[in-house]
Structure 1
Amino acid sequence: MSLNVIDLIKGQLGPALVSQAASQFGESESGISKAIGGILPAVVGGLANNSDNPGVLDAITNASSSGILGNLIGGASSSPVISTLLTSIFGDKISGIVNAIATYAGISNNSSSSLLNLVTGATVGSIGKYAADNNLDKSGISNLLGEQKGIVSSLLPAGLSLASLNLGSWFGGGSTTSHAEAAPKPEEPKIEVTRSTTAAGTNPDRNNNEGGGSIWKWLLPLLLLIAAGYFLWKQCEKKQTTTTTTTTDSTAAKTDTAATTTPADTSATTTPAAKTDENIDLNGVMLKGYKGGMEDQMITFLKSGNYKNAADDAALKDKWYDFDHVNFKIGSATELEAGSQGQLDNLVAILKAFPDAKIKIGGYTDKTGNEASNVKLSKSRAEFIKGALAKAGVGAQVLEAEGYGSKYAKVDAKASDAERAADRKMAVRFAK
């Protein structure tokens, strides 16, 4: 089975990036997430359709050393290199794609255009990194892209098709919202309908033809409806299979996190309203963070004197502060998603401003998968953050890093992946 390159890219387009993009573009996180879900297959399809294009192969080959994955929102969304690549891939179809995605996701055309650049940067960067890690030359990259042609259409979400994106001539050209176009269509009804428009008086043959046309008038739509229903059923079956995958280090990547879900929050199980980064005052130094978010709450607590006045650890253990932006790539305990480092830097700044404060790191998973594996993964991630803080010079203030697996998860294992995202998180609390 050929590699699905979309799986390589999802880790770059996770909750942290969705949240940042929503804030920067002034859109809802659900709209950004929905747009990314439609853009990603289209971009992969565009690259696959240009698998022999020297410009495309050069862009992918050079991407691994360009640093584009480290600055997707600040760099890729406005990069002239990416804009040139998109023109090479899509030509005059770009405006049609932007309009279709904007309408589909309920966002502005400007946001849709910026996201198209951003997703293209993530795609080219991820494929370039994979090629570099696996010693693929341009011929190998071309073959990898060519293999995507057979799967792109099936990856478009319901409500979008190659035709609606003005890409109907690619990969056989049909709409992916129904398989009906792939089924043979009888020619007889067309002939009979044509005959029925001629003047035939009381000719019995004319009456028979009209009867045949009336049958196909309801039978053909029925066949189309059945085919569409079968396709939607298969899609739902595929999604259900995906959400039951376990969250182990080696085999459970797909339920560990979701490419287009919103950041976890201890209580919310639905997509929250878009949040906007604001200046959080740290003794005269301004940190970028959410009003009421992790940094704001921790600074307020420290300034109140409640930490200093706490008699022992028991007085602190029940209050955890969830990271708003720190997320790991799917199945990994050592690779953070783009946008995570900024909040770790904020935590370092807070600890340096309050050198007497001590903290504990906690990792959590949802209820799916093997619990022993969940505990191991969450523990490894907490240890990774502890190590990162130590490298930043505040290791002495981190007393412990613990993984709790799904011990404190609240959402049922059978709930949707988006709902279970609330239980997959990293958190910090004060300790003594």
Structure 2
Amino acid sequence: MEVRRLDEVMEEEVPIHGRGNFPTLHIKLRRLTQVVRERLRDDGIHVRDIRLNGGAANYVLAGDRHRSYNDLDLIFGVDLSNARDLERIKTAVLGSLLEFLPAGVATGKISTRVLKEGYVKKLVRVSQPASGGDGNGGGDRWSLISLNNNAGKHVELKFVDTMQRAFEFSVDSFQIVLDSLLAFYDHAWVPMSEQFYPTVVAESVYGDFVEALGHLKQRLIATRSPEEIRGGGLLKYCFLLARGYAAADREAIRSLERYMCSRFFIDFPDLQAQGRKLDSYLASHFAPTADAERRDYLLVLRRVIDDSTVCLMGHERRQILQLVAQMGGETLQQQQRRAAYCKQQQLAQFDASVHGGGGGHQGAPPMRHILQPQVTVYPLYQQIYYYYPSAGGAPVETATPCHCAWQQCS
């Protein structure tokens, strides 16, 4: 049931990791949404509605228990015609974090500036009038506050007045209106069950909800007005390809790829801007230890740029292809370093178990020096497999999980 999955997402505890000595905050999306909403209302900022967007919304609607999501995106509909409201919103969000600090932390002298330095991954403000307009209607006027999670599962709060293009592809066009669910949390006397739950509305800003939902369940890529997609659409498109999505219309995909490549190089015209954008995208969409997934993504990106870029001169084309290839090589080296570190940790644990188990002779050399194990590392499965020659000469195979914590391997 979709509402049950939505309740699971809202009740999931997500760690917000602090920089330096800042403690980790353990936040439930339900509680964060309620606290931010109340602080905004207390400060006189009217909230039209609150919506869940992005990968979490897709997880709720797809009906696939194995589908994962990396992002938790909340959209607050607000009026941003007064520029001072942006600062008030930021203050309200950062002040909400005080509610989640561990017990015993003195909060009286913690300023919003300190909280921003400790927990905010990204802060974005956009104020652009509609093309050819006078700025009194349409255009883009919104703000984003992203809270840091070291595994890449950032909590993003977006405050939107107007947004001309709220989606890139049909599969990221879903928005689930949370107001009825929040009212249920506020007033229901009994917990949610299969017989007692609120009615929740989901929308697709793509236009056709049924068509978009079909694309999501069948993992298909489709869009409307591709010329309106900003430069980052190329990176999102390659992200979908790397995750097993395919084009809904194979004949139109070549034209779509050329549109997106051209727009990417228009919005990011030099190699430095392209590198910064790509670095930012990788940091936002991949966990620090997801080396294999990152490398697969870079391979897809390089192929699409190579096949579909028609707007660059020869040396510019070679530069961006070389940049992507270099990033892929660095990712492979990092993956190999992690594997080597895990191998060393496992061998050290094996030696410690031999000497500390009390079953061997005191002063005996490490057993691995006698058996000469051959080690093969499979980092994607976080295991190391050892092959030890037995006393009779026939090989004996044992499998031991790697106890190295991957987040500590960097």
Shorter-chain TM-score range: under 0.3
Question: 1 or 2, which has the higher strand percentage?
Answer: 2
Structure having greater relative contact order (Cα 8 Å, sep ≥ 6): 1
TM norm structure 1? 0.26
TM norm structure 2? 0.27
